[in-house]
């Protein structure tokens, strides 16, 4: 970019999907919370931030993620946040299809969660402005030149911050004052910046995190967007470079620009990239600065935050409070939407309305300055946001010339440009008053604001920044106070075996001219000396000129699943050149042993139905192992072969297994009857287990067993006949009949025996078993018959049933098999004969001689024969009457008669 070129950058807002109660986190100043303009905010749709309370263990946090099926994207391991006793903060990645709101609602109800909120997209606060600054003057650094002219001709502007008067008085800053630039990156080699860029003396470039802050080789700061140590990547890092030039561009070198401070040390905390940044990374960036101050005693007086967007973030608010507790001011751009922030909130600027009076969870003063923008004519910039209750002061922000990449310069406009004027002024004040507190520095800046009509009623002070007036503020306490000692909380995963160290850091509020010593000693809280850790006592020495000293407490590792355990370290007996501020710290031995999540199962149950009334199927839900808190699970019945209403009562509800127990029961009511029927079944299904358990076996079958007995079916066998045939064999087929079908197959034994038929000659003796299949009523078996040509009478055999199976009885046990004769004898012709007869003739008259004709055997039809008399010794006519005729012997008879 060419020198003098005007740069236009968009500033975005991001949608807020959820707000949280501010009283959870405390505040630093009691002001009215403006209404959030939801229509102008945006969130990262598949990420949320979750803050846990101190002591919430890894197992519980992992279980919460597992139950919602989300992933841990990152843990916000800000060393400063942990030192101040805050619990873990997690950046959660949501699966495709899961709404941001669903995850927020779910996590906010989980045990140990302090708050859950969106991860907002935020961007730098520079906007377009048609004003093109062509004369190259730094009007924002100028003053009124009254009563005495300062600087060369043409460097007069009453709406500048009058830095030139401070320079003229020899106030050009100090390298021992540190400022954090939370922004895009900075071109650290820019000729107007290179002398004022921080080089980390605690972490050599060797691939090792020598200072233990979690960032390897953070030589000039850290890139929180890319998570590396390169704080300058391309010309896209122009915004941070421009801000740096206003705060600490090298003055008096005859080239380029001059910042408010000609001497200062600037640290880059890059978290904005081409597409902006996130609140998660902003939290890391601010905590990084706080950690540098508390860990190494660096005099970090302020962070510059020329960016905005997103909704209220409790996570970011907490980071700002941690900075305030460490005596670091957070200077924030009011925003470029031209809105009244009292009614349409702009974050993080509006955090100024949320930070409040002294509480146990907040600092004891307001830690934020929100900055509006003025143009060179003293008017509020057309783009600038404002707010009597939410914006503190105005400063030059339109047509501001400063450094940009490629060793050049450009004019930018925006509240982004106004903010570094205030941040630079804070650093300049701190260089003059090294013992001043953050609260005193803030008060001086706001109390000395020059009244300005264009911002009257639009900012808290009704005025604009005047650094020269602030430098002459009479409220500073110039009497040095002894530095105070404090000790920070530490946590450490215990490990599964061996030992590790809890490293405690004792921090001096500022370096002392001589060594500072203080005694320390451990004591039990919930951790037990010897078992969980090695009791320790001794003396820490902080060398002259330094601000920190450390000592270790040895932790014993084990594989026992347990809650986090704590010990206390107490400082005492400080040397005379220091006082003890924070005398105690907690060492937390965090449990890193994860117990398996217990699983729920439900078992099958059976119950005889009974003949009347009701009874219960008692189902047992079993937990694979006892849980520390009660476990609940829903249950509901559904039909299989049983019907709700007639066979059982449909049921649903919740089973609770108390903490420490492994079983819970529920009943399903069974209706009794006297109907003979098959066993009937229903299903029970488990669902919706509480977060501390999973469901293993989700269904079970309830069987209502039939206890009504039907009369046993009876077996019978029928007679059979069969013509024997002249040769070979044939079969007598006997049928065994069941009086009714049975649910299972029925068997019965059979065997033959002789009647008039002879086994071996007339038939083949047989025995065996007949099976009648389930659902059928008949079964058959064969008796083999031998054929012959003998004329004989019909012959018979007997079949006898025995040994029926238990599901039937025998009614008709025997049957006759008849082998019918089918052989015919040759026909026989019967013969007739007549027998002699004698008769006394008598003395007179007549009498009859009765002759009998006899048939040798009866015939099937009547037989006739003729007869006739003839003389022998008797004479026809004299002795007898000659006769002839026919004799008939009826069918079936053998005799017939006639008379002579």
587 has which bridge partners? Answer: 490, 567
* Element containing residue 420 per DSSP (H, E): helix 415-432
Region for residue 785 given its phi and psi (left: phi exceeds 0; alpha: psi -120 to 50; beta: otherwise)? beta
- Told to judge if 183 belongs to the known catalytic residues of this protein, a careful annotator would answer yes
pLDDT category at 478 given cuts 50, 70, 90 is low
Region for residue 520 given its phi and psi (left: phi exceeds 0; alpha: psi -120 to 50; beta: otherwise)? beta
Q: How far apart are the C-alpha atoms of 374 and 381, rounded to whole Å? A: 5
Q: How far apart are the C-alpha atoms of 895 and 893, rounded to whole Å? A: 6
Name residue, tokens 């031998």: 786
pLDDT category at 25 given cuts 50, 70, 90 is very low
Q: Taking Cα atoms as reference points, which of 603, 670, 608, 680 lies closest to residue 639?
A: 680
Helix 314-325 × helix 279-296 angle, to 10°: 20
- Told to judge if 416 belongs to the known catalytic residues of this protein, a careful annotator would answer yes
* Residues in Cβ contact with 565 at an 8 Å cutoff, skipping those fewer than 6 apart: 494, 525, 526, 527, 528, 532, 588, 589, 591
Q: For the segment 355-388, what is each residue's pLDDT rounded down to a tens digit?
A: 443 323 456 788 999 999 999 999 999 999 999 9
Q: How far apart are the C-alpha atoms of 166 and 150, rounded to whole Å? A: 10
Q: How far apart are the C-alpha atoms of 185 and 363, rounded to whole Å? A: 29
Torsion of CA 280, 282, 284, 288, to 10 degrees: 180
Please give the average per-residue pLDDT across 305-322, as a whole number.
Answer: 90
Reply yes or no on whether the pLDDT at 17 is more than 60. Answer: no
Q: How far apart are the C-alpha atoms of 346 and 416, rounded to whole Å? A: 14
Q: For the segment 211-255, what is each residue's pLDDT rounded down to a tens digit?
A: 888 899 999 999 999 999 999 999 999 999 999 999 999 987 878
pLDDT category at 83 given cuts 50, 70, 90 is low
DSSP 352: G
pLDDT category at 354 given cuts 50, 70, 90 is low
CB atoms within 10 A of CB 544: 12
Backbone torsions φ then ψ of 249, nearest 5 degrees: -65, 140
DSSP 94: P
Please give the average per-residue pLDDT across 129-139, as a whole number.
Answer: 42
Q: Quick one: the chain helix, strand, coil %, rounded to 5?
A: 15, 35, 50
Q: Is residue 147 reached through a cis peptide bond, with omega within 30 degrees of 0 on the bond before it?
A: yes
Rg (CA), the chain: 58
Q: Which two tokens stand for residue 84?
A: 């101040």
Mapped onto helix, strand or coil, the DSSP state of residue 458 is coil
Active-site position among 190, 239, 242, 421: 239
Distances (CA, A) of 162 to 397, 449, 637: 15, 12, 81
Reply yes or no on whether the pLDDT at 506 is more than 50. Answer: yes
Cβ(393)–Cβ(371) below 8 Å: yes
CB atoms within 10 A of CB 33: 16
Please give the average per-residue pLDDT across 445-461, as a whole number.
Answer: 96
How does DSSP assign 373-387, residue by residue?
Answer: EE-TTSPBPTT--B-
Question: What's the pLDDT at 80?
Answer: 56
More confident residue, 750 or 509: 750
CB atoms within 10 A of CB 552: 14
* Element containing residue 108 per DSSP (H, E): helix 100-108
Q: Taking Cα atoms as reference points, which of 900, 887, 824 lies closest to residue 855?
A: 887
- Told to judge if 679 belongs to the known catalytic residues of this protein, a careful annotator would answer no
Q: Which two tokens stand for residue 31?
A: 């002001």
Question: What's the pLDDT at 60?
Answer: 83
Q: Which two tokens stand for residue 189?
A: 């080699």
Active-site position among 46, 86, 183, 342: 183
Question: What's the pLDDT at 693?
Answer: 92
pLDDT category at 78 given cuts 50, 70, 90 is low
Q: For the segment 623-662, what is each residue's pLDDT rounded down to a tens digit?
A: 999 888 999 999 999 999 999 999 999 999 999 999 989 9
Active-site position among 6, 376, 411, 416: 416
Q: For the segment 800-857, what is each residue's pLDDT rounded down to a tens digit?
A: 999 999 999 999 999 999 999 887 877 778 889 999 999 888 888 888 998 999 998 8
652 has which bridge partners? Answer: 636
Q: How far apart are the C-alpha atoms of 593 and 595, rounded to whole Å? A: 7
Residues, the chain = 900
Question: What's the pLDDT at 137?
Answer: 63
637 has which bridge partners? Answer: 684
Q: Taking Cα atoms as reference points, which of 481, 452, 474, 289 lies closest to residue 379?
A: 452
Reply yes or no on whether the pLDDT at 793 is more than 80. Answer: yes
Cβ(640)–Cβ(617) below 8 Å: no
10 Å CB burial of residue 311 (0-12, 13-18, 19+) is buried
Percentage of the residues of the chain whose pLDDT score is greater than 70: 90
Torsion of CA 270, 274, 278, 279, to 10 degrees: 50
Reply yes or no on whether the pLDDT at 123 is more than 70. Answer: no
Q: How far apart are the C-alpha atoms of 371 and 386, rounded to whole Å? A: 8
Q: For the segment 565-585, what is each residue's pLDDT rounded down to a tens digit?
A: 999 999 999 999 899 999 999
Cβ(392)–Cβ(342) below 8 Å: no
Distances (CA, A) of 111 to 64, 628, 693, 879: 9, 13, 14, 153
Name residue, tokens 């706080």: 290
Average pLDDT, the chain: 86
Q: How far apart are the C-alpha atoms of 27 and 50, rounded to whole Å? A: 20
Question: What's the pLDDT at 4?
Answer: 36
Question: What's the pLDDT at 527?
Answer: 93
Question: What's the pLDDT at 630?
Answer: 93
């Amino acid at each position: 970019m060419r020198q003098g070129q005007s740069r236009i950058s968009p500033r975005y807002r991001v949608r807020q999907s959820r707000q949280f109660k501010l009283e959870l986190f405390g505040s630093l100043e009691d002001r009215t919370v403006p209404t959030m303009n939801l229509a102008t905010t945006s969130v990262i749709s598949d990420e949320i931030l979750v803050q846990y309370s101190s002591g919430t263990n890894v197992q519980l946090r992992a279980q919460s993620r597992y139950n919602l099926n989300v992933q841990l994207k990152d843990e916000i391991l800000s060393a400063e946040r942990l030192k101040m006793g805050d619990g873990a903060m997690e950046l959660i990645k949501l699966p495709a299809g899961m709404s941001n709101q669903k995850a927020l609602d779910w996590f906010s109800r989980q045990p140990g969660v302090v708050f859950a909120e969106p991860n907002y997209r935020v961007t730098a606060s520079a906007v377009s402005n048609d004003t093109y600054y062509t004369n190259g003057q730094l009007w924002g650094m100028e003053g009124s030149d009254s009563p005495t002219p300062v600087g060369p001709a043409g460097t007069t502007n009453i709406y500048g911050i009058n830095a030139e008067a401070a320079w003229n008085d020899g106030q050009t800053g100090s390298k021992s004052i540190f400022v954090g630039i939370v922004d895009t990156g900075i071109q650290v080699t820019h000729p107007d910046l290179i002398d004022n860029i921080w080089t980390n003396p605690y972490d050599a470039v060797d691939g090792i995190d020598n200072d233990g802050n979690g960032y390897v080789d953070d030589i000039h700061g850290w890139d929180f967007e890319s998570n590396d140590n390169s704080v300058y990547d391309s010309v896209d890092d122009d915004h941070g470079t421009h801000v740096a030039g206003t705060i600490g561009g090298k003055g008096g070198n005859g080239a380029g620009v001059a910042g408010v401070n000609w001497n200062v040390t600037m640290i880059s905390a890059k978290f904005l990239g081409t597409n902006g940044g996130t609140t998660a990374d902003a939290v890391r960036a601010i905590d990084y600065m706080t950690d540098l101050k508390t860990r190494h005693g660096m005099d970090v007086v302020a962070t510059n935050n020329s960016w905005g967007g997103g909704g209220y973030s409790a996570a970011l608010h907490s980071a700002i409070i941690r900075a305030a507790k460490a005596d670091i001011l957070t200077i924030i751009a009011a925003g470029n939407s031209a809105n009244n922030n009292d009614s349409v909130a702009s974050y993080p600027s509006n955090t100024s309305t949320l930070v409040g009076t002294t509480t146990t969870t907040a600092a004891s003063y307001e830690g934020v300055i929100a900055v509006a923008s003025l143009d060179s004519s003293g008017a509020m910039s057309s783009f600038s946001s404002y707010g009597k209750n939410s914006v503190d002061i105005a400063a030059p922000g339109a047509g501001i010339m400063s450094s940009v990449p490629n060793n050049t310069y450009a004019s930018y406009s925006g509240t982004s440009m106004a903010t570094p004027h205030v941040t630079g002024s804070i650093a300049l004040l701190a260089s003059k008053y090294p013992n001043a507190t953050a609260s005193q520095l803030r008060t001086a800046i706001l109390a000395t604001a020059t009244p300005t009509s264009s911002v009257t009623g639009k900012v808290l002070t009704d005025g604009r920044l005047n650094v020269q007036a602030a430098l002459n503020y009479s409220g500073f306490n110039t009497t040095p106070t002894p530095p105070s000692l404090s000790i920070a909380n530490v946590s450490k995963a215990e490990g599964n075996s061996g030992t590790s160290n809890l490293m405690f850091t004792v921090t001096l509020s500022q370096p002392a001219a001589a060594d500072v010593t203080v005694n320390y000693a451990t004591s039990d809280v919930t951790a037990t000396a010897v078992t969980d850790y090695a009791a320790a006592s001794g003396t820490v020495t902080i060398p002259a000129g330094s601000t920190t000293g450390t000592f270790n407490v040895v932790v014993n590792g084990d594989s026992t699943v347990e809650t986090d355990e704590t010990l206390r370290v107490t400082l005492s007996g400080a040397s005379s050149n220091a006082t003890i501020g924070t005398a105690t710290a907690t060492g937390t031995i965090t449990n890193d042993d994860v117990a398996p999540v217990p699983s729920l199962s439900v078992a099958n149950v059976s119950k005889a139905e009974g003949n009347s009334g009701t009874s219960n199927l008692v189902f047992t839900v079993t937990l694979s192992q006892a849980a520390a808190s009660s476990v609940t699970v829903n249950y509901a019945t559904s039909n299989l072969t049983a019907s709700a209403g007639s066979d059982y009562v449909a049921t649903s509800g919740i089973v609770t297994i108390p903490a420490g127990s492994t079983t819970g029961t529920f009943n399903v009511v069974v209706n009794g009857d006297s109907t003979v029927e098959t066993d009937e079944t229903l299903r029970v299904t488990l669902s919706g287990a509480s977060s501390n358990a999973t469901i293993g076996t989700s269904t079970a079958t309830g069987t209502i067993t039939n206890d009504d007995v039907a009369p046993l079916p009876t077996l019978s066998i029928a007679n059979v006949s069969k013509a024997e045939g002249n040769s070979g064999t044939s079969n007598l087929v006997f049928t065994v009949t069941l009086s009714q079908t049975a649910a299972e197959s029925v068997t019965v034994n059979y065997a033959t025996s002789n009647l008039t038929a002879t086994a071996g000659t007339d038939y083949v003796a047989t025995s065996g078993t007949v099976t009648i299949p389930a659902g059928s009523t008949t079964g058959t078996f064969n008796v083999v018959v031998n054929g012959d040509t003998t004329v004989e009478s019909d012959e018979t055999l007997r079949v006898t049933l025995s040994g029926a199976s238990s599901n039937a009885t025998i009614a008709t046990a025997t049957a006759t098999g008849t082998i019918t004769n089918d052989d015919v004898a040759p026909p026989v012709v019967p013969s007739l004969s007549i027998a002699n007869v004698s008769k006394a003739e008598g003395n007179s008259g007549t009498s009859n001689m009765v002759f009998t004709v006899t048939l040798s055997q009866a015939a099937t039809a009547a037989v006739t024969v003729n007869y006739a008399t003839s003389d022998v010794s008797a004479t026809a006519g004299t002795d007898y009457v000659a006769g002839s005729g026919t004799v008939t012997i009826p069918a079936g008879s053998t005799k017939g008669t006639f008379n002579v």
